Chains A and B, each alone.
Chain A
């Protein structure tokens, strides 16, 4: 390994040569490779973290390019899976580390497996349920994780250690308000800052720095406001005080349908699908694009992107039932 790559980082006293070696042997999972996840993954790769697992269920679209820094127009044209497209870019940035893309929905059936062998989890998700699931899995397995959130010009970051306050101590029962980056927008400068702060916290945790605190940091970039709220462990917290892993223990159904935002629903499907065979069949009823990792289908208003594991993201669906109906009609369950 050519150590000059990291010279500007290892000369920084809080990291040093020893810290750099620690980073090289560290393993990080990133849940969600969107606005926060791409920036976080790139910074960690450039920092020389030795193993990155990139977990994402989605594919690249043109609207992502404003802030999801690892993707380009070709990725959007091809609707490349985000985990794959990000991994390809990161390998060009740093070929000396191991990057493992996982094109999958992060859910209760795979959460523990996907984080069991990493040192820390970086949150790149975009909804409450995913954060509660990360929180449950990390708490159960004794892993630290770093929460990040961003919408409009408002961002928030907080690190969670295995023996401190957890996400449910902070937000015992938060719900998705219906606001999303698709409906109220988001500044790309904000997502870059939030992810940068998450990575800084992650490095502090990996290097066992005493500079880490247990503050919920929130800021409004447009209105020049910065706050830090100390959050203590709640001795009646369902997760960390009582060990109730409600989200991790929730049964996962193959036929589940979940909201992806932007009038799109994810249908989990019922196992692997032969994309070649299905593409041939669907050609007769609509437009089909069949790439290495996805099959994109459009017919009038109906459309979906199908992954080899049988999971589909159904576009222009107003309800979960409508998404399931499109899935049944064209893919079959």
Chain B
């Protein structure tokens, strides 16, 4: 199935490309990110993941949240400075 992914936390996700990715049925948010890493030939340091926030179809999601076919996934991180 096809998932549209946008990486908003660019400095944390360098090398990953926005766009559609093909993932297996039943994939979770983390499965989608790992697919993106494989396709783009990028391996993110594991500690990057803890700073990510996910918005799946306009709602906050967790790494283990299943992703429906045709979903829109934003990968971002909270901006907390001020």
CB-contact partner of A149 in B10, B53, B74, B80, under 8 A = B80
| Residue A229 is within 8 A (CB to CB) of chain B in the complex | yes
> Which A residues lie within 8 Å of B74 (CB)?
227, 229
> Which B residues lie within 8 Å of A229 (CB)?
8, 55, 58, 74, 76
**Are A220 and B11 CB-contacts (below 8 A) given A177-B51, A231-B59, A234-B60?**
yes
Q: How far is the CA of A155 from the CA of B81 in the complex (A)?
A: 9
CB-contact partner of B82 in A124, A152, A174, under 8 A = A124
CB-contact partner of A232 in B8, B53, B59, under 8 A = B59
Flag A110-144 by CB within 8 Å of B: 1 or 0 each: 00000000000001111110010000000000000
A211 shortest CB reach to chain B, Å: 20
Q: How far is the CA of A234 from the CA of B56 in the complex (A)?
A: 11
Give chain A's interface residue range (CB within 8 Å of chain B).
35 or more
**Are A154 and B11 CB-contacts (below 8 A) given A170-B60, A172-B60, A230-B58?**
yes
Interface residues of B in 38-72 (CB under 8 A from A): 50-51, 53, 55, 58-60
> Which A residues lie within 8 Å of B51 (CB)?
177
Number of interface residues of B (CB under 8 A): 19
Query: Total A-B pairs in contact (CB under 8 Å)?
Result: 83
| Residue A86 is within 8 A (CB to CB) of chain B in the complex | no
Q: How far is the CA of A229 from the CA of B51 in the complex (A)?
A: 18
| Residue B6 is within 8 A (CB to CB) of chain A in the complex | yes
User: Closest chain A residue to B53 by CB distance?
Assistant: A171
Q: How far is the CA of A170 from the CA of B8 in the complex (A)?
A: 14
Interface residues of B in 1-44 (CB under 8 A from A): 6, 8, 10-11
| Residue A240 is within 8 A (CB to CB) of chain B in the complex | no
Q: How far is the CA of A34 from the CA of B82 in the complex (A)?
A: 7
A171 pairs with B78, CB closer than 8 A? yes
User: Closest chain B residue to A261 by CB distance?
Assistant: B81
B81 pairs with A186, CB closer than 8 A? yes
B55 pairs with A231, CB closer than 8 A? yes
| Residue A109 is within 8 A (CB to CB) of chain B in the complex | no
**Are A231 and B58 CB-contacts (below 8 A) given A174-B53, A220-B11?**
yes
